Amino acid sequence: MRHLSSIVFLLAVILTGCKETPKNTTTGTESNTAIAEPYKLQQTVYYGGDIITMAGDTTEYVEALATREGKIIFTGSKAAAMNRFEGKAEEVDLKGKTMLPGFIDAHAHFSNFSSQSIGAQILPPPDAGANNMDAIVRILKEWNTPENRALTGWIFGAGFDDSVLEEKRFPTKHDLDQVTTEFPIMIIHISGHFAVVNSKGLELLNITAETKNPEGGLIRRENGNEPNGVLEELAAIPYYTKALTPKTKEAANMFFESGQNMALSFGYTTAQEGRAMLENHDMLANAAEAGKLKLDVVSYVDYLFVDTLMNTKWNSKKYDKKYRIGGMKLTLDGSPQGRTAWRTQPYLLPPDGAKKGYLGYPAIPQDSVLESLYRKAFANNWQVQTHANGDAAMDQMIRTMRKVSSEFEKKDRRNVLIHGQYVREDQLDAYKELDVIASLFPLHTFYWGDWHKQIIGDELGNKISPTRTALNKGLRITIHTDAPVALPNLMRMVGITVERKSRSGKLIGAGEKLTPYEALKGITEWSAYQHFEENKKGTIENGKLADLVILDKNPLKVAEKDIKNIVVLETIKEGISVYKK
């Protein structure tokens, strides 16, 4: 790391009083009014590798860049850089590696990264080894130690995937009871929309045969009305904090640091908390106040808590100690791979317990309720991120947003569709009309491409995450990991967006591929724009934050199939190295 001691930093400030003068960003030359720049210890110059600026519609390289006090102050030729900075800055030779702007995930759940990094590793291959029920039981048994249970009081893990498990079904309480009936267990589906608990977990959550299904959720049953341990949507999500909240300050610190380190290791310099409840916000706000955040985090507050949290100092376009609230989050349906996404056509393969003709279901059934929420956001000029996966949910989003938007003056709101997995072309046209950014989720093509074709058919399955169609229609788009739904591996996401191959190696909509440069735009400049931060982030240009990432290979120069395996070697936030492999 390039931390300076406070004494050295103060001496540098005393010795150097002039401001940076304007310069040409291509050549690195200064304007005619430039004066000789004094020696500044906090300067760093990078050279000797592929430095991709990500500015403009075509690839642009510079030979060198320099940073000072957290910002980029020079981009240009190595000769110009050496003429100006030699002996006056720390010099970093990239040794043929590749530098890009720091990565910005357009949608993820940062405060939950820790559940993936600390909990039982029940992801399927290639991320972990949970490929059948026996493996899940074995992994949970191995994780079941007094030290691990002491973290939250529960045995927990995230990432099981029924579409990949050999049994092609959800675990139930009976499977989890094989691990233990003495201690509570909760495991969370890879979509983030389902949980499975054991008998002890049901007892502690007070879920019985008499417990009614909540609106927007479902308790799966057996033997009449007895809960079988599987909880869907709003029958599951409100209980996550029970199993995932650390019990001690020490455990909370461990959770936070583990999740943050995971993000930094994948090149994040800006992360998103994509559905902040009170607990998530409090954790992040407390971390910010304590100076623990090493990257910027922007939260989108669940609509249930906007009246409380949108009136705090955190609701701002500016970061306070690297944290801010960016707007409101609405969730209109569930998970497509979990088959709770709300569709206009029936699933070909209904989930356990569902009848033929099953369409999934809405999270907010009444349009009038959704209209009132959009009206509140428009009236307060809040940016809204709307989760909608099924086309019925997107129909609801479009008709209600169109009605409400007609009541207000047109402003630069940058409202966002999150996921849009089963979006139709006519709906993309409507989003263009409504000036909605489409943040799509092409990781699905690898993780669940084969599964989508089974549950909605081959033709529609090839149209998931239609990134090329959206771009061709003139929409602004971004791409995202939705971590911890998948690992927050942004280079894997870029590679899959370009390659669009499933686990079995099948092409999933070859016509929807992005170029490597476009995919990188989706996690740099385009995502910075989505967050209203394009003037500070997303490209390597003078005056912008020195948020940078160094990769072992150049994504623009390797084969498509190799992009997803590129490794982050270093992450730099505002000129400070916050992660090194």
Give the model confidence (pLDDT) of 139-154 as tens digits.
999 999 999 999 999 9
- The pLDDT score that the predictor gives to residue 17 is 34
- The answer to whether residues 92 and 117 belong to one domain is no
Q: How confident is the model at residue 127 (pLDDT cuts 50, 70, 90)?
A: confident
Q: Give the H/E segment covering residue 550.
A: strand 548-551
- The answer to whether residues 234 and 123 belong to one domain is yes
Q: Residue ranges of the alpha helices (H) in 266-309?
A: 278-289, 306-309
- The answer to whether residues 157 and 234 belong to one domain is yes
Q: What is the DSSP string of 183-222?
A: S-EEEEETTSSEEEE-HHHHHHHT--TTPPPPTTEEEEEE
With beta carbons less than 8 A apart as the criterion, state whether 88 and 37 touch.
Answer: yes
Q: Which amino acid is at 555?
A: P
Is 346 domain-assigned? no
Given a cut of 70, is residue 21 above it in pLDDT? no
- The answer to whether residues 19 and 136 belong to one domain is no
Q: Give the H/E segment covering residue 579.
A: strand 576-580
- Count Cβ neighbours within 10 Å for each residue of 437-475 and write b for 16 or more, e otherwise: bbbbbbbbbbbbbbbbbebbeeebbbbbbbbbbbbeeeb
* Pair type for strands 226-233 and 194-197: antiparallel
- The answer to whether residues 51 and 118 belong to one domain is no
The C-alpha angle with vertex 315 and arms to 313 and 317, in degrees rounded to 5, equals 110
- The answer to whether residues 80 and 121 belong to one domain is no
Question: CA 307 from chain center: how many Å?
Answer: 25
Side-chain-facing half-sphere of 173: CA atoms under 13 Å: 23
Q: What is the DSSP string of 387-443?
A: EE-SHHHHHHHHHHHHHHHTTS-------EEEE-TT--HHHHHHHHHTT-EEEE-TT
Q: What is the mean pLDDT of residues 9-16?
A: 31
Give the model confidence (pLDDT) of 47-61 as tens digits.
999 999 999 999 999
- Count of the separate structural domains present in the chain: 2
- The answer to whether residues 158 and 240 belong to one domain is yes
- The answer to whether residues 126 and 23 belong to one domain is no
Query: Rounded to 5 degrees, what are φ and ψ at 237?
Result: -55, -45
Which residues contact residue 537 at a Cβ distance below 8 angstroms, ignoring those fewer than 6 apart?
101, 102, 104, 269, 270, 524, 528, 531, 544, 545, 547
Cα–Cα distance measured from residue 551 to residue 538, given in angstroms and rounded to the nearest whole number: 16
Range of the domain at 195: 113-244
- The answer to whether residues 51 and 11 belong to one domain is yes
Omega before 22 within 30 of 0, i.e. cis: no
Whole-prediction pTM: 0.86
Examine the fold and report which residue of 62, 96, 130 is the final residue of a domain before the chain moves on. Answer: 96
Torsion sign over Cα 427, 433, 439, 443:
positive
Cα–Cα distance measured from residue 184 to residue 173, given in angstroms and rounded to the nearest whole number: 10
Give the model confidence (pLDDT) of 497-534 as tens digits.
999 999 999 999 999 999 999 999 999 999 999 999 99
Which residues contact residue 436 at a Cβ distance below 8 angstroms, ignoring those fewer than 6 apart?
401, 415, 416, 417, 475
Q: What is the mean pLDDT of residues 419-426?
A: 98
Cα–Cα distance measured from residue 173 to residue 140, given in angstroms and rounded to the nearest whole number: 13
Is 163 domain-assigned? yes
Q: Which of 102-106, 250-254, 343-347, 452-456 bottoms out in mean pLDDT, i.e. has the lowest?
A: 250-254
- The answer to whether residues 199 and 172 belong to one domain is yes
Given a cut of 50, is residue 423 above it in pLDDT? yes
Examine the fold and report which residue of 96, 128, 143 is the final residue of a domain before the chain moves on. Answer: 96
* Pair type for strands 194-197 and 185-189: antiparallel
- The pLDDT score that the predictor gives to residue 23 is 37
* Pair type for strands 548-551 and 568-573: antiparallel
Q: Which of 38-47, 131-140, 194-203 bottoms out in mean pLDDT, i.e. has the lowest?
A: 38-47
Cα–Cα distance measured from residue 151 to residue 156, given in angstroms and rounded to the nearest whole number: 10
- The pLDDT score that the predictor gives to residue 228 is 97
- The answer to whether residues 10 and 73 belong to one domain is yes
| % the chain with pLDDT above 90 | 86
**The domain spanning residue 150 has which CATH number?**
3.10.310.70
Is 155 domain-assigned? yes
Is 413 domain-assigned? no
Cα–Cα distance measured from residue 567 to residue 575, given in angstroms and rounded to the nearest whole number: 20
Is 561 domain-assigned? no
Q: How far is CA 137 from CA 144, 221, 581, in A?
A: 10, 21, 32
| % the chain with pLDDT above 70 | 93
Cα–Cα distance measured from residue 129 to residue 164, given in angstroms and rounded to the nearest whole number: 11
Is 203 domain-assigned? yes
Is 162 domain-assigned? yes
**The domain spanning residue 63 has which CATH number?**
2.30.40.10
- The pLDDT score that the predictor gives to residue 329 is 98
Give CA torsion, residues 286, 287, 290, 293, to 10 deg.
-150
Task: Indicate the burial class of 411 (C-beta count within 10 angstroms; 0-12, 13-18, 19 or more).
Answer: exposed
- The pLDDT score that the predictor gives to residue 173 is 97
Q: Give the full edge-to-edge strand order of the sheet including 155-160.
A: 155-160, 185-189, 194-197, 226-233, 217-222
Cα–Cα distance measured from residue 359 to residue 328, given in angstroms and rounded to the nearest whole number: 27
Given a cut of 50, is residue 569 above it in pLDDT? yes
Cα–Cα distance measured from residue 552 to residue 574, given in angstroms and rounded to the nearest whole number: 21
Reference 432, options 384, 398, 392, 385; nearest CA is: 398
Q: How confident is the model at residue 485 (pLDDT cuts 50, 70, 90)?
A: confident
Q: What is the mean pLDDT of residues 322-348?
A: 96
Is 12 domain-assigned? yes
* Strand, helix or coil for residue 348: coil
Q: What mean pLDDT is reported for the chain?
A: 92
Examine the fold and report which residue of 96, 122, 141 is the final residue of a domain before the chain moves on. Answer: 96
- The pLDDT score that the predictor gives to residue 134 is 97
- The answer to whether residues 10 and 38 belong to one domain is yes
Q: How confident is the model at residue 115 (pLDDT cuts 50, 70, 90)?
A: confident
Cα–Cα distance measured from residue 561 to residue 514, given in angstroms and rounded to the nearest whole number: 13
Reference 420, options 401, 439, 434; nearest CA is: 439
Cα–Cα distance measured from residue 572 to residue 99, given in angstroms and rounded to the nearest whole number: 10
- The pLDDT score that the predictor gives to residue 208 is 97
Given a cut of 90, is residue 28 above it in pLDDT? no
Give the model confidence (pLDDT) of 261-316 as tens digits.
999 999 999 999 999 999 899 999 999 999 999 999 999 999 999 999 999 999 99
Q: What is the mean pLDDT of residues 550-567?
A: 98
